Amino acid sequence: MKIMLVCAEPAGSFGGVQSYARNLRRGLVQMHHRAMLVIPGTGYEQGVTVIPHGEFLRERTWSRLLREHRPDLVHLVDWQSQIHLHHVFSGLPYVTSVFGTELLGIPRSPERQDRLLRALMSSIRIIAISKYTARLLHNTLGISRCHVAYPGIDVARFSTPQRRFPGPSAVTVARLVPRKGQDMVIRAWPQVMKEFPGAIYVIVGAGPDEARLRAEAKKVNARVRFEGAVPHSNLAESYDMGQIYVMPCRQEGDSVEGFGLTFIEAGARGLAVVGGRHGGAEEAVVHEKSGYLVQPSDPQEIAQCIIRLLGDGRLRESLGEYGRARAKREFNLAVSAIRAYSGLLR
């Protein structure tokens, strides 16, 4: 079966939405379907069609692509492709995905609400990446007809950890934006350092919040190392910079964690995880089995959880092994594709 996935996130961004689309394509290929991903930008990638930015939203571009590839099914992955391109595929069956953050800004934009509503309601399936996102969809647009399907990862890529950081340490691999919660870990870190004087908090990623986070680390005299952005090819190894994974995510304005695939990646790497008790993270983290959920705005609780994990190697190992087995069993690429497209493939 021929499936065309369309994502408006540009080539090279490797954000959460584009990673989701790439992983779905790879899962479909593993199942012996012919799947292609179409994104805007420049460059070349196998299995990915890259369209120049100025051409991506033009109808003639899609008329040509549809003539050339004749897909049996189209997947409009993100809200931008759904709003701007859904009418192009009106004669074809298409599915859509919803993530969470794009739904929260809807009430302030009636036009966007109307266009997104039409795009979603015309699709043969709306895929929500979590139960939390499904609830958001119902609360914002009144849509209850959706199919919950958790995203997946390339488990094999994450399953062979290198040597861990030798001392007490925690790592966050995420964009530097407030909802990811790096600021709360920094505020918690002086308390961690009282128990483990050499403990280091490693932040991997880039984003607009970097200057504020650096200032916060200096203010509280926390031992924090900023690694910056890493190439996508080195993403898995980034998790080896800490003995545990910490991301106490929260809602920040219209920005939420629809699921939190990074917790699955960390688990596949054998790390115990600490997540915020909010949004889709409550589904990505199995409390007291793959890790712990904490109040994301409480540095004291975050510190106590980190201290407990850093002080108990057997507990870390037990939680990490559960996360590794769960990732392999429930979040591999083929399983995630089957979840998303069940009943639609032939």
Q: Do 36 and 101 belong to one domain?
A: yes
Structure tokens at 279: 């949004």
Q: Do 240 and 123 belong to one domain?
A: no
Q: Do 216 and 137 belong to one domain?
A: no
Q: In the chain, pLDDT over 90 holds for what percent of residues?
A: 86
Does any domain span residue 346?
A: no
What is the arithmetic mean of pLDDT over 13-29? 89
Q: Is the pLDDT of residue 27 over 80?
A: yes
What band does 113 get if pLDDT is binned at 50, 70 and 90? confident
Q: Is the pLDDT of residue 166 over 80?
A: no
Do 228 and 195 touch, CB atoms closer than 8 A?
A: no
CATH code, domain carrying 95: 3.40.50.2000
pLDDT tens per residue, range 41-53: 887 777 899 999 9
Q: What's residue 160's pLDDT?
A: 78
Q: Do 267 and 197 belong to one domain?
A: yes
Q: Do 270 and 215 belong to one domain?
A: yes
Q: Do 144 and 165 belong to one domain?
A: no
Q: Do 189 and 85 belong to one domain?
A: no
Q: Rounded to an integer, what distance in angstroms lies between the CA atom of residue 211 and that of residue 205?
A: 13
pLDDT tens per residue, range 184-200: 999 999 999 999 999 99
What is the arithmetic mean of pLDDT over 270-283? 97
Does any domain span residue 63?
A: yes
What is the arithmetic mean of pLDDT over 141-166? 89
- Cut 0.85: pTM above it: yes
Q: Rounded to an integer, what distance in angstroms lies between the CA atom of residue 156 and that of residue 268?
A: 9
Q: Rounded to an integer, what distance in angstroms lies between the CA atom of residue 39 and that of residue 11?
A: 6
Q: Is the pLDDT of residue 107 over 70?
A: no
What band does 257 get if pLDDT is binned at 50, 70 and 90? very high
Domain with 306, as residue range(s), is 157-330
Structure tokens at 273: 């995880």
Q: Do 66 and 135 belong to one domain?
A: yes
pLDDT tens per residue, range 232-256: 889 999 999 999 999 999 999 989 9
Q: Do 145 and 180 belong to one domain?
A: no
pLDDT tens per residue, range 292-313: 999 999 999 999 999 999 999 9
Average pLDDT, the chain: 94
Q: What's residue 14's pLDDT?
A: 64
Q: What's residue 42's pLDDT?
A: 84
Tell me the backbone φ, ψ of residue 275, rounded to 5 degrees: -125, 165
* Strand positions, DSSP E, the chain: 2-6, 34-40, 48-51, 73-76, 94-98, 125-128, 147-148, 169-173, 200-204, 224-228, 244-247, 273-276, 291-294
Q: In the chain, pLDDT over 70 holds for what percent of residues?
A: 98
**How many separate domains does the chain show?**
2
Q: Do 145 and 168 belong to one domain?
A: no
SS3 276: strand
